[in-house]
Amino acid sequence: MSGSTNQFQETRARSLTKTVSWRCCAVLNSFTILTVSTTSRPLTNAIAMNITGFFVFYLFERFWNQIGWGRVPVAAKRTETRMQEPVPAESSSSR
């Protein structure tokens, strides 16, 4: 752990990119297990895919944690949202 407590929010583009790239990794993992498989037992293959998928996902997330693209600091996001909020209309009680 780096000890950093910086909070961030992911942009939609980052989330979509991570989603698509993860599905590619998961399909590749499944394909590899089923191609290299030494057994014809479906349960054994399913267990192998889940165990290797666990480690592949861990490495995938560690890799993406090193990429800063698509991260927005929470404080900056809040400020940006405040700037876009509509200004309340003047009260009509001053008549």
What is the domain extent for residue 48? 9-69
Residue 57: its pLDDT value, please? Answer: 97
**Residue 81 resides in a domain:** no
CA angle (66, 80, 75) in 5-degree steps: 50
**Residue 90 resides in a domain:** no
* Type of residue at 30: S
Q: pTM of the full predicted structure?
A: 0.67
Tell me the two tokens of residue 34.
Answer: 């089923």
**Residue 49 resides in a domain:** yes
SS (H, E, C) the chain: CCCCCCCEEECHHHHHHHHHHHHHHHHHHHHHHHHHCCCCCHHHHHHHHHHHHHHHHHHHHHHHHCCCCCEEEHHHHHHHHHHHCCCCCCCHHHC
**Residue 34 resides in a domain:** yes
**Domain tally, the chain:** 1
Residue 77: its pLDDT value, please? Answer: 54
**Residue 94 resides in a domain:** no
Residue 37: its pLDDT value, please? Answer: 82
**Residue 84 resides in a domain:** no
Give the pLDDT of the chain (95 residues) as one tens digit per residue. Answer: 455 556 899 999 999 999 999 999 999 999 999 899 878 899 999 999 999 999 999 999 999 999 999 999 987 555 555 555 555 666 555 55
**Residue 77 resides in a domain:** no
**Residue 57 resides in a domain:** yes
Q: What are phi and psi of 6, to 5 degrees?
A: -60, 130
